[in-house]
Amino acid sequence: MPSPFPGMNPYLEDPQLWPEVHSRLIVAIADHLNPQVMPKYRVAVERRIYEMVDGESLTVGIPDVSIARASQRPAELPTASAAIATQPFTQPRRILLPTPEEVRESYLEIRDVATGSVVTVIELLSPKNKKSGPGRDAYETKRLRLLSSDANFVEIDLIRAGRAMFTPETNNTDCYTVIISPTQLRPEAELYSFGLQETMPNLKIPLQREDAGAILDLQQVLEQTYDRAGLDLTIDYSEPPPSPKLSPEDQDWMACILNP
């Protein structure tokens, strides 16, 4: 069953589902671009790894000793042997300890086959990239390094939740953005923004200056990924999509799409 939406499917943004969607899309984009750029270039799937600890989820329990104290008479203290026999056990509380989480995020590098140099980097953002913490810090550090390098940079943001990497001047209905930063245009870049009701645009992926570039049909890649992964089998369209909440206009439009 194909995706019911003409553009991005907001149900794919579910944090439980997105890691699979992200992994599949990364490989699908590489497979889509490689026939266009070979044999001079090849698109390689790369991965960064970091540890993330959610300190906000840490709760510390203090054992409740009030029962033991209440059982003791003020005028007399039990002997050691009597205490062992009569002292009631304090019931422990269950607590949560911070557990390091190993995060693996894939991205793409278009490399010159002859020299091995990185010509273009393509990033597909995840929720952790847009949430304050180690994930965003690691990504922002790499992003700044790339923007000061000789590599072209492409950033695809198909996640509505979280804090955007920057605040673009887009229409109120725009949910998603793509930034394409060819080296020769910096500090300027090309911005694509589109809403839920729109088909995603074709993107011109820059290569070296003497080459025309490759075309990424993002809509086609998403639809093929949705079909091949059988994602319709895991989505409950009777429930609302994950947060943030859609605008009233998009809610009405989506209701018509899902209940024609």
For 135-187, the pLDDT digits (tens) are: 788 889 889 999 999 999 999 999 999 888 876 555 555 789 999 999 999 99
Mean pLDDT for all residues in the chain: 84
Residue-by-residue DSSP string for the chain: ---SSSS--GGGG-TTTHHHHHHHHHHHHHHHHHHHHTTTEEEEEEEEEEEE--GGG-B------HHHHHTS-TT----HHHHHHHPPPPPPPP-B----EEEEEEEEEEEETTT--EEEEEEE--GGGGSTTHHHHHHHHHHHHHHTSSSEEEEEE---SS--SS-----TTEEEEEEEE-GGGTT--EEEEEETTSPPPEEEE--STTS--EEEEHHHHHHHHHHHHTGGGT--TTSPPSSSPPPHHHHHHHHHHH--
For 16-73, the pLDDT digits (tens) are: 999 999 999 999 999 999 999 999 999 999 987 656 565 332 223 333 333 233 334 4
Q: How far apart are CA 217 and CA 28, in angstroms?
A: 11
Categorise residue 81: left if φ over 0, alpha if ψ from -120 to 50, beta otherwise.
alpha
For 198-227, the pLDDT digits (tens) are: 999 999 999 999 999 999 999 999 999 999
Which pLDDT does position 99 carry in this prediction? 65
- More confident: 67 or 190: 190
Share of the chain above pLDDT 70, in %: 79
Torsion sign (Cα): 164, 169, 172, 177: negative
Total residue count of the chain as it appears in this document: 260
Q: Is the peptide bond before 39 cis (omega within 30 degrees of 0)?
A: yes
Which pLDDT does position 115 carry in this prediction? 95
Q: Which backbone phi and psi does 196 adopt, to 5 degrees?
A: -65, -30
Categorise residue 197: left if φ over 0, alpha if ψ from -120 to 50, beta otherwise.
alpha
Q: How far apart are CA 108 and CA 46, in angstroms?
A: 6
In Å, what is the CA distance from 102 to each residue of 50, 55, 99, 242? 6, 15, 10, 24
Which pLDDT does position 135 carry in this prediction? 74
Which pLDDT does position 138 carry in this prediction? 81
Which pLDDT does position 213 carry in this prediction? 93
Q: Give me the helix-helix angle, 218-229 and 18-37, nearest 10°.
A: 130
Tokens read off for 50: 């970091």
Q: How far apart are CA 155 and CA 227, in angstroms?
A: 24
For 98-139, the pLDDT digits (tens) are: 666 666 778 999 999 999 999 999 999 998 888 887 778 888
